[in-house]
Amino acid sequence: MAKVIFQRPKYLKENVFHYCPGCGHSIAHRLIAEVIDEMDIRGITIGVPPAGCAVLAYNYFDLDMIEAQHGRGPALATGLKRTLPDRFVFSYQGDGDLAAIGIAESFHAANRGENITVFFINNAVYGMTGGQMAPTTILAQRTTTTPAGRHKTLDGYPVKVCELLSQLPGVAYAQRCTLTSPAQINKTKKAIRKAFQCQKDALGFSIVEILSPCPTNWKMSPIDACKWIDEVMSKEFPLDVFKDITPTAQKNTEAV
């Protein structure tokens, strides 16, 4: 008998992704759906897609979902989670969404230790709007609004979200990973699982930052985009676990 070893996750709808070839969103979506399948939490999970390329995430996830205005995902997720503390709530955000317009909402949701999970897709560029500078655009990187390359005195420096948020006591788990190889994809999936587990154990705010290729706006082939992440982007944004309180965690459910 043939054994099924690979199939569509149960709660990923049978729609064709609108994402560009080589884009990381579709892989990230699939990984999240796989973890939701494995943890069997589809019925009690609510997702918050962002403004940006992933705004249509509800066309793919077979979950209850509510869109957030640009950057407001963590605030909206806070409202959902505080009202329904026994549900899993995740926000899915891009770099502009999380680290530019929504940095206050993200920072303070993390600082309050909101028991939610944020999936942070960092592709160092504004994808949906056509490749403008993102807060995570690295120095010298050319975008449509930094045609001569990002310049530190004119445009400031790339924002390192995991490093920043991991300083906050409310954050239980912060890991940066990528999608450039099967090994990295497996690592990312484990991180996603761990983040949801943090939420299940009520440990506080969890974030998984995923360095994600954007071949279209980087003007590269998908393979070159992965190489660029490995050789350039991950030097600026090191792949690491920046915070993980799970080994020593006490459940903070009874904490004041």
Partner 1 sequence: MLPALKDTSSPEKNITPRDTAQSAQTVKKNVTAALFARRCVRTLPSRSTVNKFLMSGNNIIGEAAIRAGCRFYAGYPITPQNELTEYMAEHMRNAEGGVFIQSESEIAAIHMITGAAAAGARVMTSSSSPGISLKQEGISSLAACELPSVIVNIMRGGPGLGNIRPAQGDYFQATRGGGHGDYRTIVFGPATCQELADLTMDAFDLADKYRTPVMILADGMMGQMMEPVIFKKPKPRQYSENFMLRGAGDGKSKIIRGLILDAIDMEEHNWKLARKYEVIAKNEIRYETYQTDDAELVVVAYGTAARIAKGAIKRLREHNKVKAGLFRPITLWPFPEARLRSLSGKIKDFLVFEMSTGQMLEDVRLSLQGYADIGFHGRPGGAVPTPAELANVIARYYEKKD
Cβ-Cβ contacts under 8 Å for 248 (sequence gap 6 or more) = none
Pairing of strands 45-48, 132-133: unpaired
d(CA 34, CA 62): 12
Residue 219 binds to partner 1 (criterion: CB under 8 A)? no
Q: 12 or 179: whose CB is closer to partner 1?
A: 12
**Min. distance of Cβ 131 from partner 1 in angstroms?**
20
Pairing of strands 45-48, 88-94: parallel
Q: With contacts defined by CB under 8 A, name the span among 22-30, 57-65, 157-165, 188-196 that binds partner 1.
A: 57-65
**Min. distance of Cβ 187 from partner 1 in angstroms?**
28
d(CA 39, CA 156): 41
- The residue from 19, 61, 120, 237 that contacts partner 1 (CB under 8 A) is 61
3-state secondary structure of 10: coil
Question: Restricting to residues 66-85, which ones interact with partner 1 according to CB under 8 A?
Answer: 66-69, 72, 75-84
DSSP letter for each residue of 24-46: SHHHHHHHHHHHHHHHT-GGGEE
Residue 30 binds to partner 1 (criterion: CB under 8 A)? no
Distance of CA 59 to the CA centre of its chain: 18
Question: What's the Cα-to-Cα distance from 150 to each of 18, 100, 122, 124, 132, rounded to whole Å?
Answer: 29, 16, 16, 11, 11
Residue 44 binds to partner 1 (criterion: CB under 8 A)? yes
# residues contacting partner 1 (CB under 8 A): 36
The site map against partner 1 for 143-182 (x = CB under 8 A) is ----------------------------------------
- The residue from 34, 105, 209, 244 that contacts partner 1 (CB under 8 A) is 105
**Rule CB under 8 A: which residues touch partner 1?**
42-46, 48, 55-56, 58, 61-69, 72, 75-84, 87-88, 104-105, 107-108, 112
